[in-house]
Amino acid sequence: AAGPVPGAEITLEANPETVTPERLAAFRRAGVNRLSLGIQTARDDSLARLGRRHTAAQSRRALGMAVQAGFTDISGDLMLALPAYTMAELDETIALLAESGCTHISGYLLKIEPNTVFGKRPPEALPGDDAAANFYLAAVEKLAALGYAQYEISNFARPGFESRHNRIYWDCGDYLGLGPAAHSCMGGKRFATPAGTAAFLAAPAVYEPQGECTAEDYIMLQLRLSRGLSLSALRARYGVSFSSEKLRFLQTLAEHGLAVFDGSVLRLTPRGMLVQNSILCELV
């Protein structure tokens, strides 16, 4: 059988407690060249509260095994603003990721979803919005100081290690998802396969239409990127231009330090990214 295209980015996601040298060597042989590990935090009590099954020591060990197995492209997940979170916990987690060979870091603020354990019984000592914003801005700054440039609202990378598959999503490019509950977009049209492994295995894949990738989607996704939204690209792709009123709004954002706007590209600053939803409400 034909293998993957040479130079393709092939990412495997794993939790630290599931990683072994044998498994990693086998994945390398199968063509996997990028590893994403759900590290989350360097504090064991926080991991236990999140219901994670690994410890910080296992995280460090898993990252060490990945380096030993020859992975040079390693991403680690960093959860911010956890219950009873402190700058010390942030510093310890960033140190663990940076010292153990991560070339890419995805940082997320804890979001309480309905119908989850935390949704039904919210944990105590959750940081408020202002504290969460401060942790996010501190993470952006601390990661930049260590050579991880922010290239997207939640993603940071050493030069050349930006995730290529994520870039396709944010640029409204073509991607094909395979498997139960997988989402795809081709030629600006979105579609998905239903959830459920048994049904997926029993019959040919069913693709359900999910609408089109619109100008609004493009604006939202491009503003997630540090390089920002090109007004000429928006016009070329969707025939959409901002009114003079909206252009004035962009100037106001820039005056308040929420964006950088040179008349042709709108880039949100980290502070602007925190209020991206409010900015989008004005724009679309």
Please report the pLDDT score of residue 1 as a whole number: 60
CA–CA dist 120, 118 (Å, integer): 5
| Antiparallel, parallel or unpaired: β 229-230 and 183-186 | unpaired
DSSP states along 31-60: T--EEEEEEE-S-HHHHHHTT----HHHHH
* Main-chain dihedrals φ then ψ at residue 214, nearest 5 degrees: -95, 175
194: which DSSP letter? P
Could you report the average pLDDT of every consecutive run of 10 residues in the chain (284 residues)?
Answer: 83 96 96 97 94 95 98 97 96 98 95 78 87 97 98 97 95 95 96 94 92 96 98 97 97 98 97 96 92
Angular region, 269: left φ>0, alpha ψ -120 to 50, beta rest: beta
Residue 33: other Cβ atoms inside 10 A: 17
Report yes or no on whether pTM surpasses 0.85.
yes
Please report the pLDDT score of residue 111 as a whole number: 81
Please report the pLDDT score of residue 117 as a whole number: 76
Q: Domain segments of the chain: what residues?
A: 11-163, 174-212, 228-283
Please report the pLDDT score of residue 144 as a whole number: 98
Domain 228-283 has CATH 3.30.230.10: no
CA–CA dist 236, 5 (Å, integer): 31
Residue (of 228, 96, 89, 100) closest to 153 by Cα position: 228
Domain 11-163, architecture per CATH: 2-Layer Sandwich (3.30)
Encode pLDDT of 204-222 as tens digits: 888 999 999 999 999 999 9
| Antiparallel, parallel or unpaired: β 149-152 and 74-80 | unpaired
Give the angle 177-74-163 at the CA atoms, nearest 5°.
Answer: 45
Cβ atoms of residues 185 and 213 within 8 Å: yes
Residue (of 4, 93, 98, 113) closest to 43 by Cα position: 93
Please report the pLDDT score of residue 123 as a whole number: 80
